[in-house]
Amino acid sequence: MNSKKGIKIEALMSVGIDIGKDVFHLVGFDPDGNVVVRKKIKRMALEKTFEELPSCIVGMEACLSAHFVSRALRKMGFEPRIIPAIYVKPFNKGQKNDYNDAEAIAEAALRPNLKSVPEKSQDQLDLQALHRVRSRLVSRRTATINQIRAFLIEQGITVRKGLRALKNSFLTILEERKDEISPRMRKILIGLYGDWMWMDDRIDAVSTEIEQISRAEENCVNVMTIPGIGPMISMAMVAAIGTGDAFDRGRDFAAWVGLVPRQYSTGGRTVLGRISKPGSRYLRMLFVQAAKVILMRPHRWPDFSFGEWLIRAEPRMHRNKLAVALANKLARTAWSVLHHGTTFDAPRDEVAVGV
């Protein structure tokens, strides 16, 4: 294969791929740092193009299909590196376009200390897809319930807070207030209620599948021995990080989830703020929910190895701050259990099992 300048490519240090829906842009450097590949290709021509290139480091931003492309190139003998977009940004030069993005990716891929995203297997992507489907259904169900409440309020009808309260009283309201609700509004409300019931069934089906998979997966079973952690968190964690080999210690995982204080320090003065909130918002939410489940049962705290710390921290910390601190501890413990293939040292029962 020849470059734009007509020079035969014998050696490549790195190639950056700017991944698009249908079109990829490639920029490659030789060992002297010269651009010797600058090419736009169709997605279907990816393998054919790289068959003509020598083995090298191939960088790409973490995005949709990045893991698929990474696995395909690894089978061909290349060394793919999936890089978070935030780490590529400092290498961008000039105005933003696809070739400049690909060049920045190629430069970032050469940095030895730059953290890359671990390549996910097809099983991990499948498990992650299950969680995303469930999260979308829960969000849509909440929106549907809120719309039902809004329409009822427009008719002068209020229902106390809680999903169960509305579900138990909905049909009774339609019957008792049939003179106040117009036939058209009644039809709309019944349709929304049917949507709600359908989403309930779909959520239950997906949740059951997640639970069945987690009970059969050894890594998930180990993580579920931690208080407050159930099938949802254990499988979401395995789907996201595998066995946690991408992190050197539990604090690195907690930082990736976004459960550590945001730091702004200079001149030897350390300033810590609110939690940083990068990484997986979904996983962070689940860990905080697990922490709140534990905080609801203070009589069980002495049963856990971290119970003494929790008892000391509770009087001096706001409830929400304590929940985040506990979520941080749960995340670090979960990484250790997952990475070392062990179980937690606390007893499990119906109270300990959570989200």
| DSSP, residue by residue, 36-49 | EEEEEEEGGGHHHH
User: At residue 336, what are phi and psi to the nearest 5 degrees?
Assistant: -60, -45
CA proximity to 232, closest of 285, 154, 304, 294: 285
Residue-range domain boundaries for the chain: 14-109, 123-215, 217-340
Instruction: Name the token pair of 12.
Output: 């490549």
Q: Can you tell me which residue has the tokens 């009644």?
A: 186
H or E stretch covering 224: none
Rg (CA), the chain: 26
Question: How is residue 23 written in tokens?
Answer: 């079109």
Six-digit token string for 9: 């490519």
**Nearest-angstrom CA–CA distance, 105 and 85:** 9
Distance CA 191, CA 198 (A): 11
Q: Which of 147, 66, 49 is nearest to 109 (CA)?
A: 66
H-state helical runs in the chain: 46-51, 66-75, 85-88, 98-109, 122-154, 163-176, 183-216, 218-223, 231-241, 250-257, 281-295, 307-313, 319-340
Q: How far is CA 46 from the centre of its chain?
A: 28
- Whether residue 166 contacts residue 145, with contact meaning beta carbons closer than 8 Å, is answered with yes
* C-alpha span between 9 and 29 (Å, rounded): 10
Return the SS3 of 242: coil
Neighbours of 312 (CB within 10 A): 10
| Intervals of the chain under pLDDT 70 | 1-9, 346-355
CB within 8 Å of 244: residues ≥ 6 apart: 253, 335, 338, 339
Residues 6+ apart with CB under 8 A from 161: none
DSSP character at residue 20: -
The token pair at 345 is 């040292």
- Which CATH code of 3.20.20.70, 2.40.30.10, 3.30.70.2190, 3.30.420.40 fits the domain covering 14-109? 3.30.420.40
What digits encode the pLDDT tens for the residues 271-318? 888 888 888 899 999 999 999 999 999 999 998 989 999 999 999 999
Global confidence as pTM: 0.84
Q: Which of 286, 288, 266, 292 is nearest to 275 (CA)?
A: 288
Task: Assess contact for 220 and 131: CB atoms under 8 A.
Answer: no
Residue 36 near residue 59, CB atoms below 8 Å: no
Alpha-carbon span 62 to 116, nearest angstrom: 9
**CB-based contact 308:285 (threshold 8 Å):** no
Tokens at residue 39, please? Answer: 């090419």
What's the pLDDT score for residue 267? Answer: 85
Classified as helix, coil or strand, 24 is strand
DSSP code for 61: E
